[in-house]
Chains A and B, each alone.
Chain A
Amino acid sequence: SQQGEEDPQALSIQEGENATMNCSYKTSINNLQWYRQNSGRGLVHLILIRSNEREKHSGRLRVTLDTSKKSSSLLITASRAADTASYFCATDPDSGGGADGLTFGKGTHLIIQP
């Protein structure tokens, strides 16, 4: 079953506005990561938040993690046209082993209108 589920599936906002995307997951995790994918390209890592962290910032990005609700949010402030991309959350399950494959959601497609 799908581990990460992003919400909404698509989001269109005006340049300068803030964009918020949400992610829910099912099992316990070591960490949760957000990646960006421009159309037809590979994934770019944005930010990682560990299971014992509640909030993390990186430039215009703010990520929160609520392990009790098994959810995370990604906020992009002061959006720019270049932020247009698909955004994926990926969880690193707490399987007790070594570095494992990440589990990705289907992504949120963000469109920033100039």
Chain B
Amino acid sequence: NAGVMQNPRHLVRRRGQEARLRCSPMKGHSHVYWYRQLPEEGLKFMVYLQKENIIDESGMPKERFSAEFPKEGPSILRIQQVVRGDSAAYFCASSPKGYFGEQFFGPGTRLTVL
């Protein structure tokens, strides 16, 4: 049973470009969470999604950031017009339907904005 998969593992973008980060949850998991981690910091919650629905996006910046979890395919975190301050590690986690507790984390995508 494969764990949470994220790709790419490393992504380099120039200022103004778009970044697309993908997350495939564990098999059987229908809850997906995105977190951002700045250097030497803990993870900050961004958004919580279920299939085709955004449940909680209270941690998402108001502009340039969007997320989706379509019926088919991975969850996508999209950052438009990236700026240097977007450089961080972005982690995706998943949990089973209706389960309150442990979240299973992917290896993260390290975004560097030049």
Q: How far is the CA of A97 from the CA of B100 in the complex (A)?
A: 10
B75 smallest CB distance to A (angstroms): 14
Contact code string A67-87 (vs B, CB < 8 Å = 1, else 0): 000000000000000000000
Interface residue B102 (Cβ < 8 Å from any Cβ of A)? yes
Number of interface residues of B (CB under 8 A): 30
A98→B43 contact, CB < 8 A: no
Q: Name the contact of A48 in the complex, choosing from B33, B40, B101, B105 (C-beta under 8 A).
A: B101
Cα–Cα distance between A97 and B4 once the two chains are bound (Å): 24
Central interface residue in A30, A33, A92, A101, by most chain B CB within 10 Å: A101
Give chain A residues whose Cβ lies under 8 Å from the Cβ of B42. 4, 88, 104-107
B69 at interface (Cβ–Cβ under 8 A)? no
A35 to B31 Cα, complex, angstroms: 19
Stretch at the interface among A11-19, A39-47, A52-60: A39-47
- What mask results when residues 33 to 57 of chain B are scored 1 for a CB within 8 Å of chain A, else 0? 1010000111111111000000110
Task: Check: A20 CB closer than 8 A to any chain B CB.
Answer: no
Interface size on A, residues (CB 8 A): 25
Cα distance, A41 to B41, chains bound together (Å):
14
Q: Which residues of A contact B99 (CB under 8 A)?
A: 99
Q: With A88-B42, A101-B56 as known contacts, state yes or no: A41 contacts B107, CB within 8 Å.
A: yes
- Is A61's beta carbon under 8 Å from chain B? no
Residues of A within 8 A of B17 (CB): none
Interface residue? B87 (CB, 8 A): no
Contacts of A101 in B (CB 8 A): 33, 35, 45-48, 56, 59
User: Taking the complex as formed, is A103 at the interface, i.e. its CB lies under 8 A from any CB of chain B?
Assistant: yes
Q: How far is the CA of A10 from the CA of B90 in the complex (A)?
A: 23
A100 to B40, CA, bound (A): 24
Contact check, B45 vs A42: say whether CB atoms are below 8 A apart.
no
Q: Would you mind naming 11 contact pairs between A and B with Cβ atoms under 8 Å apart?
A: A31-B101, A42-B91, A42-B108, A45-B104, A98-B98, A100-B48, A101-B59, A102-B43, A102-B103, A104-B44, A105-B42
